[in-house]
Chain A
Amino acid sequence: MAEVNSPSLTERKPLSQIFKDLITPIKTVSFSSKVWDRFLILIIIWGTFAYIHQLQSGLGITAMRDYSTWGVYISNFVFLVAVSLVGFLLTAILKLTGIKWATPISRIAELVAVAAVMFAGLSIIVDMGRPDRIHHIPLHGRFSSPIVWDITVVNIYLIMSVIMLYLPMIPDLAILRDRYTDAPSWKKKLYTLLALDWKGTDEQYKLLNRANRIMMILIMPVALGIHTVTSWLFAVNSRTGWDSTIFGPYFVSGAFVAGTAAVIIAMYVYQRAYKLDAYITGKHWDMMGKLLVLVSLVYLYFNINEFLVPGYKMKKLDAEHIRALFVGHEAPLFWSVQILGMIIPIILLIFKPFRKPLPMMIIALFVLVGGWLKRFLIVVPTQFHPTFPIQNVPENFMVYHPTLAEISITLALIAGVLLIMTWFVRLFPIIPIWEIAHEEGYHQVEEEAKKPESAE
């Protein structure tokens, strides 16, 4: 069984090689990686200053006004929640259905999920007019509000995703504890603590597998819930463009697209930066490419439903909204997103030559940026088509062009996600060592890890 799904079908890698390849990224931090994280930290500091400014002067420093009351912050929130759903897709759905090829990238997916959902929560706080009153939510929370549902399920999803990232990492932590002997003492302590006395006995594996399986099942309703409820933040309002019954599946399918694209980009970067070609192989690229086509097709189907049906009826306010998207003010953005971010990627990825690392990474970038802009198009333009005309307000109430502060804060949030993904690799193996070893047919991995390196 293990051999069939082995990432390298040609020859069996020596176990010590696997250890070496996968532990090296933790041992040495390259110069470019250092430059990269300084760069991210600078963006975060800059964004923090912008946020302090916003705290002092109020949300007035953003471009949001009474008729565009939600802007890029809420778009960020929806986007990050969407991206985080890929953890559930790649680790839970694929594994439970017995699909094994995703093993080496499941940790990447779970990491993307954890980092994204953490900053999704922050995006909401950034959007609040009175973040100093955040304790009012537990104190005075009313269960009739979808925000309360959303906060509940986002937190549950975050906790569950952390557990799902952690559980399958326990054997690896034990390997690190035993193998990575020249680690600084704080790292050693960390590994020892987190490895929970893992010995790799059959009984422990049995327990671990069972726990994993339970988590995979439990996370299903939560993952579907998190994005469905997020879509309801819009769909429960009687507003043109949001007043839709398919928003739940429309958002979930869109989320799989954005998340898959995010994982493809992460795969590319990790593979290049840490020379993981032997672990993330052509087969993974091929399968991920096909997966992106599949989820994009589903998303395309929901898009057609979402726009064609109201576009056919052209009810008064729907007509205004749809005209703005199709031929009006929003049209250039709308069509770029639909064509460059969805249709062309689907067409290209059908052909095998495009399912190679570099082209796929570029396509995935388009899909991901398109995914963000699509969230923006869902959140913002709708608000400019209220039931009654917008009158007696200044010009700047009738348009929404994000300000420097909003853009800075948004970039800082994205930088935060990337920073977590950067730092994680310096602490933990990004490819599951034990799972690879097991697939290669090695057992007693934990025992082997204890043997001194020099003996090989």
Chain B
Amino acid sequence: MLEFTKSETTEKKDRRDFLKMLGLTIGAAGAVTTFTSTTLGATNLNSSKSTLSLIGPDGDLVEVDPAKLQMAEEIVSDSELLREYQRRGREGIPGKKWVMVIDLAKCQNARKCMEACQGAHELRPEQHHINVLRMQDTPDTAPYFMPKPCFHCDNPPCVKVCPVDATFKRQDGIVLIDNLRCIGCRFCVAGCPYSARIFQWSEPDMTEEEKLRTYDVELNVPQRKGTISKCLFSADRLRIGKLPYCVSACPNGVYWFGDKNEDAVTNGTTGETVRFSDLVRDNAGYTMHEEFGTKPQVFYLPAKDRRVPYDEANRMTTQN
């Protein structure tokens, strides 16, 4: 069963960051979640007293001396780390098929999702991986707010048109962009019928420190001038067993996120987990503009019984 840790662990921050870098997660009591790193292979593990228990890539339990980990930190060069990020970024998380369900009835245009997303991905205020739109389908129907991320289509036109395989679809369903590969032709922007993609027209707004971070394809950070960026379903958070940034930031219970293979989605606000198929069936879930044949993997629940009057909510919609 899928379980997302909702609170941060209380590990010492620097070590946790380092382990995260390696793709490791250490549970608070040594009982551990996934472990995917191969970079530790060079370190000679011995059995000193105070060790950390980690589960290796093949599911075996390994004892690691924290001192050795410190050493490993030194020998792991940037390029090795980058190679590891790129490898696992292309591969995806085996066995998963991520889906999102967005409940339009609950969206009150709080825009916490947009904020969290822009913070995580070093975006400018006018750049949106997720964009909350004011919608009104016809003059006679009720207006509503619609958060619009990338739909991580199963038949993604953006992937088809990319000339260099910079945008690609992984086994877990996520469509990612490799900012080190992208040539900036922007064909994918033309190809995406949902306007999910943004382009770094100028040097991204980042501090010097941020610029020096090792590029993580699962986070698109550091952002690169002259390349594409878009919603990544927070692949970096999924890797450490957490819900996407937007999903956990929403105060109104709009987002459900989870694994289609397990048929379970978790609400980012309440933490409640339900069957995906039940949720979508019982609430008349649908996907946007499926006539394009793109097979979106973001599902919407209709905007019925909206509790927030549109006019009031409308007031909050200021242009950036």
Contacts and interface: CB of A to CB of B under 8 A. Distances in A.
B163 A148 contact: yes
Interface in A49-73: 57-60, 62, 64-67, 69-70
Interface residues of B, number: 44
Interface in B149-174: 157, 160-166
Nearest to B186: A69
B301 to A, nearest CB: 18
A425 to B, nearest CB: 35
A66 B157 contact: no
A234 B189 CA distance: 12
Contacts of B200: 58, 129
Contacts of B166: 136, 140
Interface stretch (B124-132, B207-215, B251-259, B279-287): B124-132
A147 B185 contact: yes
Given A69-B186, A392-B320, A58 B193 contact: no
B226 A58 contact: yes
A60 B126 CA distance: 14
B161 A239 contact: no
Contacts of B134: 389, 391
A204 B128 CA distance: 66
B311 interface: no
* SS class, residues of chain A in contact with chain B: loop
B320 A58 contact: no
B126 A140 contact: no
Interface stretch (B9-17, B46-54, B176-184): B176-184
Contact of A129 (B181, B199, B292): B199
Nearest to B320: A392
Given A58-B200, A59-B201, A128 B184 contact: yes
Interface residues of A, number: 48
B197 interface: yes
Contact of A142 (B163, B195, B202): B163
A130 B193 contact: no
A392 B131 contact: yes
Given A147-B161, A148-B163, A387-B195, A64 B148 contact: no
A386 B195 contact: yes
A145 B183 contact: no
Contacts of B67: none
Contacts of B193: 237-239, 386-387
A47 to B, nearest CB: 19
A236 B161 contact: yes
B164 A136 contact: yes
Interface of B: 126, 128, 131-135, 146, 148, 157, 160-166, 181-187, 189-191, 193-195, 197-203, 225-227, 289, 292, 319-320
20 contacts: A57-B202, A60-B201, A66-B199, A129-B200, A133-B183, A140-B164, A140-B166, A142-B164, A144-B160, A145-B161, A145-B162, A146-B187, A151-B163, A236-B161, A237-B161, A237-B190, A238-B157, A383-B190, A392-B128, A392-B131
Given A60-B202, A127-B186, A386-B193, 11 more contacts: A57-B202, A69-B186, A130-B183, A145-B187, A146-B161, A147-B187, A151-B163, A386-B195, A387-B194, A388-B135, A389-B133
